[in-house]
Each structure stands twice: as structure tokens, then as C-alpha cells.
Structure 1
Amino acid sequence: MSDFWVFGYGSLMWNPGFDHEDGKPALLRGAHRSLCVYSWVHRGTQEKPGLVFGLDRGGACRGMAYKVSSESRNKTIEYLRAREQVTMVYLESWRKITLQTGETVEALTYVVDRKHAQYAGALPLTDQLDIVLEAVGQSGRNPEYVLNTAAHLSELGIKDHNVSWLASRLNG
């Protein structure tokens, strides 16, 4: 076994929750960040779902890559599966990412399963806002999740028009 990378594009950017040796901004091509997953656990319930980010096909996504030591491999993957795969809405996938240094590495990613009942698709921003404003789950209020993600994108100098639009309305 060897060291490996994990790509974070939502809460994994600001709350990875696992030990890592290094963290670097990174780019994933072929998928984009989208508030396209109905959250039935962490930021909503099945009766009143929230919305969380997924990697949806097409485009590109800037986020954070975390290097995990080989000694922590099994523990980290077990943790990520328990966190990200509660309802199996994501497909665990190894994808090539480009680190800010220019190096290309393979990273563990969680890509939305478009066939899953929780896949919301590309909802209009106003609908996303309405859902986020009302939702609360085991991990807290849905607006906090979107605002934390927006703040960390800003810290990293990553521009995401949709996240910025939502954050400006959630803050106001």
C-alpha cells in the first residue's frame, strides 16, 4: 500500500475529518461542483431534504487535495465511506487531479450517482435557496454548510458563481 490523495470540493475542503500529511489546492477535470444532492441525513431529512454538493459530470472543479499516509489508508477510507456513503448517493471513484504545483495524481473522489433517488439535478438557484433556507439535519443547518463552503472557496481564491450567489442571499 502507498500514500494516496483525497479530493474535497464541499465540506471535505473545510472539515476533512481525517489525518493527512499535506493539503494542496487541486483541479479535477470532467466534473463540476453542484448543489445537486438532496440531503436526507447530514443537512436535511427524508421528509424535508436539504441540499449538499456533489461532483456532477462535465466541466471542472477546483478544490482541495489531501495526502494520506499508507499507514492511515484503511482507517481513512473506512471513515470516508461511513461519512459520504450513508445513503450510497455517491460513487467512490479514483480520478486524476492536478495539484497546484502542476503534478498530476490519482485521488479518491465521491461523484454523484445520477440514478440515485437523492440526485436533484440542476435545480434553478432560487429553488436551491428555498430548500437550503429551510433544511436542518444531523450535522446542522443547511445554510451553514453552504456558507462554510463559500468562505473556504473564497479563502482559496476559487470563484464559483452559483455558490457566491447563494451565499450572498444566505448572508443577507
Structure 2
Amino acid sequence: MSDFWVFGYGSLMWNPGFDHQRTERALLRGAHRALCVYSWVHRGTEERPGLVFGLDNGGACRGKAYQVAGDIWPQTLDYLRAREQATMVYREHWHPIELDSGEKVEALVYMVDHGHPQYAGALPLEKQLDIVTGAVGQSGANPEYVLNTAAHLEEMGITDTALALLAAQLIGASRA
């Protein structure tokens, strides 16, 4: 059985949670990283939702690609579905990505479902800040998720201006 690829653009970049053979920066065209999903499980609750990233239509997204050995793919897919599909807010897609080495591969990506009630759409920065600040879910506090993602992107040399602005606001709010 051949190997498979998974594209990470949020917490999968800094906490993949599955075995992989190789990792490399990658570019996905046709979708962009957006804080556009109300989190009812991992970073919030239905009563006090948080916000997490989704891949939304248009643009491009730099992230991290993971190569998974074919013999452990079924277990990896089960793990990813349990983690990413707790409320079915994402749709699984196979999408071409380009690794920084120049290699083009097909990768599993999780695209946000626009018809799902957890789809938040494009929210202004102040609204994002308000939602993220006090939200906590099974995987921890929402600000931690946003700041970890921002820090990891910075370490990887990836610029995400909207995320950097929100991270700066969160840091400022925590010092106030």
C-alpha cells in the first residue's frame, strides 16, 4: 500500500497526534486559513463557543504536510476523523498540494462546510477577539490555540497578517 499525505493548517501543525514518516512545509491553492468555525468541543462549548481555523474557499494556504505510511493509514484516518469530525463541521477532500521541495502530491484536507451551523464566516477582528478571549473546551483555552498556531507559523516563516493581529490583541488583553 502506498503512502498518504495530510495537510495541516491549524493545530495539526503543532500537535499532529499521529505517526508520520516525513513532514514538509507545503502550499495549498484554492483555499485559505480562516478563523471561521465556532468550536463546540475542542476550544469552546455550544453555550460558549470558541473559534478555530477552517480552510475556506479562495486564495492559498501555507501549512505543513505529513507523509503517513500506507500500512498505518487506516488507524491514522480513524484518528483524524475522531479529532476533526466530532461535529462534522469539516468535509474531507483530497486536494493537490505543493511541497517546498517542489514535489506535488495529493493530500487529505479538511475544508469547512458552509452549510454547517458552526460555520462562522468572516468575522471582524473585534468579534474574533471577543469570542476567543473567554472560550474553553475539551482541548483547552481558545487563546492558547490561537497563540500556538500564530507562534508556529512564525517559526515556520509563514506570514498570516490577520492571525498576527489577533495574536497581538490577545497578548495585549492578557497583560491588561
Q: TM-score by structure 2 length?
A: 0.97
Is the aligned partner of 1:8 residue 2:8?
yes
- What secondary structure sits across from 1:62 in the alignment? strand
Alpha-carbon distance in structure 2 between the residues aligned to 1:20 and 1:56? 26
Match in the other structure for 1:52: 52
Deviation string for 1:67-118 (max 9, x for gaps)?
Answer: 0001110000000000000000000000000000011100000000000000
Deviation string for 1:15-50 (max 9, x for gaps)?
Answer: 000000000000000000000000000000000000
Deviation string for 1:145-167 (max 9, x for gaps)?
Answer: 00000000000000001110011
Identity %: 71
Match in the other structure for 1:127: 127
Is the aligned partner of 1:26 residue 2:26?
yes
Specify every segment of 5 or more residues in structure 2 that has no aligned partner in the other structure, as ranges: none
Is the aligned partner of 1:170 residue 2:167?
no
Task: Report the Cα offset of residue 134 of structure 1.
Answer: 1.1
Match in the other structure for 2:90: 90
Match in the other structure for 1:153: 153
Alpha-carbon distance in structure 2 between the residues aligned to 1:35 and 1:102? 28
Match in the other structure for 2:81: 81
Q: TM-score by structure 1 length?
A: 0.99
Alpha-carbon distance in structure 2 between the residues aligned to 1:130 and 1:162? 15
Alpha-carbon distance in structure 2 between the residues aligned to 1:126 and 1:25? 30
Alpha-carbon distance in structure 2 between the residues aligned to 1:125 and 1:107? 30
AA in 2 matched with 1:132: V
Alpha-carbon distance in structure 1 between the residues aligned to 2:113 and 2:151? 27
- What secondary structure sits across from 2:119 in the alignment? coil
Specify every segment of 5 or more residues in structure 1 that has no aligned partner in the other structure, as ranges: none
Alpha-carbon distance in structure 2 between the residues aligned to 1:50 and 1:156? 25
Is the aligned partner of 1:37 residue 2:37?
yes
